Amino acid sequence: MIQKFLILFAVCLVCVSCSETQRQHRDQYPNVDSLTSTAQMPDTLIFIHRTFADTSAVPNYIIHAQFPELVHYERENIRKQFNAEIEKILDGSVSSFKIFLGGQSIETVAENDSLTPFSQLSIEYDLAYNSRLISSLIFHFEQVDLPSENVLQYNKVLNFNLLSGETIFIEDVLQSDTTLLERLSELTFSKLTAQMPDADTTWIRNGTEPVLENFKNFLFMLDSGSVIFNSFQVAPAEVGAVRVNFAWKELFPDSLGINPLNAKPK
């Protein structure tokens, strides 16, 4: 009996030792394509961290990306379309970055602390709004040219209708109404001058002219909207990006303040 107990005890020690060895291995070699559940919607939305590096003989860039992916969604076609729209945004920015550098193709690789790339692109995101109806995302891009230390920062947004499986654009909100576009221009100008009382109003005016391009980073939420103005658009580069929030009632004064896609301007 005592002999059996000693054998069982020895087996347990071996198992604990193996488990500790595996844990140390995981800590030493973390997976660079890792998945972590978000706090907002753990059953359907995860984020992915991925590292890409130049595989040419003389590497000149590295890319760190964090982006969301929709999983475990009951409508498979909607899930695929949502993820495809995210990939489209990322692929476009990565392609522009590589064209700017004249870079080579990218491969997913393990992080290499000894790598000293000439340039790097960092991609992160914020979940601005998430419900069973709409998901609104902000993607933050930072491009750094390490030899010159030049930094380029910009944002892109994605508003996705989880019912129809379609991306919502600023054109859908404004419905080709020039009067509504002018109202949005005046609304954002007024709020920006209040947010930045010491700023150059001419600079703000130029960045909020009633042109669709100025409002491309438009966030669509249930009872409110936001516009993100990229760095240098309405203020000097050192100010960075500026976000303006407003209730739908301010843009659609004769509406109930919800569902602006069906609202009509006064």
Rounded to 5 degrees, what angle do the CA atoms 165, 167, 173 make? 120
What the chain holds in terms of domains, given with CATH numbers, is 34-168 (3.30.565.40), 171-251 (3.90.640.20)
Q: Residue 245's pLDDT is what?
A: 94
Global pTM reads: 0.74
Token pair in block for residue 32: 């660079």
Q: Residue 209's pLDDT is what?
A: 97
Q: Residue 92's pLDDT is what?
A: 92
Residues 6+ apart with CB under 8 A from 100: 143
Q: What does the alpha-carbon distance between residue 220 and residue 248 come to, in Å, rounded to a whole number? A: 10
Token pair in block for residue 229: 């103005």
Q: Residue 264's pLDDT is what?
A: 40
List b or e across 196-208, with b for residues whose CB sees 16 or more CB atoms inside 10 angstroms: beebeeebbeebb
Q: What pLDDT tens digit does each residue of the chain (266 aa) get?
A: 555 444 443 434 434 343 333 333 233 323 233 333 333 444 456 767 777 776 666 667 888 888 888 887 888 999 999 999 999 999 999 888 887 776 433 443 334 444 455 688 999 999 999 888 889 999 999 998 776 678 889 999 999 998 899 999 998 888 778 899 999 999 999 999 999 999 999 999 999 999 999 999 999 887 889 999 999 999 998 899 999 999 988 988 876 655 565 444 33
